[in-house]
Amino acid sequence: MEKVIYLDNAATTAMSDGAIAAMQPYFKGLYGNPSSLHTVGQRAKEELEGFRARIARRLNCDAGEVYFTSGGSEADNQAIRSAAILGSRKGKKHIVTTAFEHHAVLHTLKKLEKEGFEVTYLDVHSNGLVTAEEVKTVLRPDTALVTVMFANNEVGTIQPIAEIGAVCRAAGVVFHTDAVQAAGHVPVDVRAQNIDMLSLSAHKFKGPKGVGVLYCKKGLPLLTFVEGGAQERGKRAGTENLAGIAGMAEALDEAVENMPASSQKIAALRDRLIDGLLKIPHSRLNGDRQSRLPGNVNMCFEGIEGESLLLLLDAKGICASSGSACTSGSLDPSHVLLALGLPHEVAHGSLRLTLSDETTKEDIDYVLKCVPEVVGYLRSISPVWEDLETGKRQHLI
Amino acid sequence: MALYSEKVMDHFTNPRNVGVIEDADGVGEVGNAKCGDIMKIYLKIRDGIIVDVKFHTFGCGSAIASSSMATELIKGKPLSEALELTNKAVAEALDGLPAYKMHCSVLAEEAIRAAIKNYYDRNGIPYDKAQFPDPADEDEHHHGDGEE
């Protein structure tokens, strides 16, 4: 294949050169186990605590509030289970969330429901946003936890996290946010945004895969996630992934430093892409246009199915993603698009394009040439499109 | 992409027999938009032989490839032979489909049956009703659980 235009940065990113370089010393020279008492081990320990402090500074918390994990899913699982179980010991068995969280959150909550917890799933409306007021109205004396994602992984909408956090704090309810798509892309400040627990994952901001962070506010009790050692203040046993943590610290530093310039540049390309794609008849932008990640574009095109669109774009060198059922092997289309109220037949025709600071105007213009061609072709062989055009079926978008 | 065989990708990216037959002798449409796949097959029939076949499909790559392959397999064949085409034969001719995509080949088989039944009905040709079970309705339209 010739040039590949990678527009699936919400799935994962290429690592930055700086992050790759930052990892190198820890494979051989500084390979010590931070738990060892000798010089080599203690040197590794110093490095580890240095990275913890750097990451804490970027989140505006104390180093003692940062727990290293294997990634976002683990952090989500542990934050939610811990807050739920500790809450239930005080008779609190109610949890508030939204209908379109990541499955790392939703599946954890489903399991808790089976264990007797009650979960309120807030409507995210057609724009993919909840309000702090809506959270407030469903809080109860027995609410143990509110978990609302910072930014949605499919449609990129950014929730009013600081306001939701303030509502929770006033009510004395623990507030967790899955910030996997947000960290390194939009400002995250756990103090200013009233966040008690936060999950992030390094590979979403040009760090390595397999490493992430759970931030947990000081004073908030946390259950042990992994038994077997004193690492992470006894909460998560296992020798630390020092190279991964080094890469994550470097990648987060770079992402935060570059954010003002890169987010502006990426958002401009995003807007060019959205405006161009909306010229396709019977297309729709999914998720609020304003409160949106700088790199996220998510569209539906009526009369076609997302997987075939994805594969034909791949054949043209464009790597995209789809919320379509056929990419996941399940019957239903994306739960995120259904939560936005889209009918099944429309949600099947979705396309997600997620940009990075390496995306160029030429890339966007190439995509804007290819997508209408492919959509037009798939519509030309679609009996659904034929019915829409002949009036046998009503256009929904 | 290793998701599909080369044959599936070939039939998906260069589908055979795409289109509509305006004066078709039989038309069959199966599937539903809610589930994400619809196939419509048009037949031209002379003396019990399928002399032409065209299709339109809304669906994923394997749905389009299954339609394309199924039309190739029945073109020029007597109706009796077309009625014997199984979803398994379509999938095999495509060098296999992922397990959760087997329903696409089932749809192709059903679409051909529906088009032949439509031809029989239009022309008052008697047939054994047992040969044409109702295509799976919405509730039974299941994806990816061992329809091989």
Smallest Cβ distance to B58: which of A304, A311, A344?
Answer: A304
Residue B52 has pLDDT above 60, yes or no: yes
pLDDT value for A382: 96
pLDDT value for B132: 83
Confidence grade of residue B100 (pLDDT, cut at 50, 70, 90): confident
Size of interface A-B (CB pairs under 8 A): 78
Residue B104 falls in the annotated catalytic set: yes
pLDDT value for B131: 80
Residues on B contacting A at a C-beta cutoff of 8 Å: 1, 9, 12-13, 15, 18, 20, 29, 33-40, 56-64, 98, 100-101, 142-144
Task: Please state the rounded mean pLDDT for residues B11-30.
Answer: 96
Residues on A contacting B at a C-beta cutoff of 8 Å: 303-308, 311-312, 314-315, 324-326, 329-331, 333, 343-345, 348, 381-386, 393
pLDDT value for A323: 66
B6-123: CATH topology is: Sufe protein. Chain: A (3.90.1010)
pLDDT value for B1: 47
pLDDT value for A122: 98
Residue B140 has pLDDT above 60, yes or no: no
Task: Please state the rounded mean pLDDT for residues A350-363.
Answer: 97
pLDDT value for B141: 46
| CB-CB neighbors (< 8 A) of B29 in chain A | 383
Residue A389 has pLDDT above 50, yes or no: yes
| CB-CB neighbors (< 8 A) of B56 in chain A | 381-383, 386
Q: In the structure encoding, which two tokens stand for residue A321, read together? A: 């993603």
| CB-CB neighbors (< 8 A) of B61 in chain A | 307-308, 311, 326
Residue B60 falls in the annotated catalytic set: no
pLDDT value for A328: 57
Smallest Cβ distance to A383: which of B12, B29, B144?
Answer: B29
Task: Please state the rounded mean pLDDT for residues A376-397.
Answer: 95
Q: How far is B110 from chain A (nearest CA, A)?
A: 16
Task: Please state the rounded mean pLDDT for residues A48-70.
Answer: 98
pLDDT value for B148: 31
Residue A275 has pLDDT above 80, yes or no: yes
Residue B106 has pLDDT above 80, yes or no: yes
Q: Domain map of chain B by residue range?
A: 6-123
pLDDT one-digit tens code per residue, A64-110: 999 999 999 999 999 999 999 999 999 999 999 999 999 999 999 99
Task: Please state the rounded mean pLDDT for residues A166-183.
Answer: 98
Q: Hey, are the CB atoms on B13 and A315 less than 8 Å from each other? A: yes
Confidence grade of residue B125 (pLDDT, cut at 50, 70, 90): very high
pLDDT one-digit tens code per residue, A223-265: 998 999 999 999 999 999 999 999 999 999 999 999 999 999 9
Residue B147 has pLDDT above 50, yes or no: no
pLDDT one-digit tens code per residue, A283-337: 999 999 999 999 999 999 999 999 999 999 999 999 999 866 555 556 678 999 9
Q: A79-83, A271-275, B95-99: which has the minimum mean pLDDT?
A: B95-99
- β-pairing verdict for A118-122 and A94-98: parallel
Q: How far is B137 from chain A (nearest CA, A)?
A: 14
The phi and psi torsions of A140 (rounded to 5 degrees) equal -130, 165
DSSP string, A315-348: HTTEE-B---HHHHTSSS--HHHHHTT--HHHHT
Residue A122 identity:
L
Distance CA B104, CA B39 (A): 9
Q: Hey, are the CB atoms on B100 and A329 less than 8 Å from each other? A: yes
pLDDT value for A367: 98
pLDDT value for A86: 97
pLDDT value for A332: 75
| CB-CB neighbors (< 8 A) of A308 in chain B | 12, 59-61, 63-64
Domains, chain A, ranges and CATH? Answer: 5-11+259-390 (3.90.1150.10), 17-254 (3.40.640.10)
pLDDT value for A324: 60
pLDDT value for A174: 98
pLDDT value for B138: 44
Taking the CA atoms of residue A17, residue A243, residue A253 and residue A232 in that order, the dihedral angle to the nearest 10 degrees is 170
Residue B2 has pLDDT above 70, yes or no: no
- Contact at 8 Å (CB) between B100 and B121? no
Question: Which entry of B104, B108, B111, B114 is annotated as an active-site residue?
Answer: B104
pLDDT value for B10: 95
Confidence grade of residue B144 (pLDDT, cut at 50, 70, 90): very low
pTM to 2 decimal places:
0.93
Mean pLDDT of the residues in chain B:
89
Kindly report the length of chain B: 148
Distance CA B87, CA B84 (A): 10
Residue A208 identity:
P
pLDDT value for B3: 81
Nearest residue in chain A measured CA to CA from B28: A383
pLDDT value for B133: 76
Residues A29-64 as b/e (b if ≥16 CB within 10 A, e otherwise) read ebebebeeeeeeeebbbebbeebbebbbebbebeee
- Contact at 8 Å (CB) between A250 and A22? yes
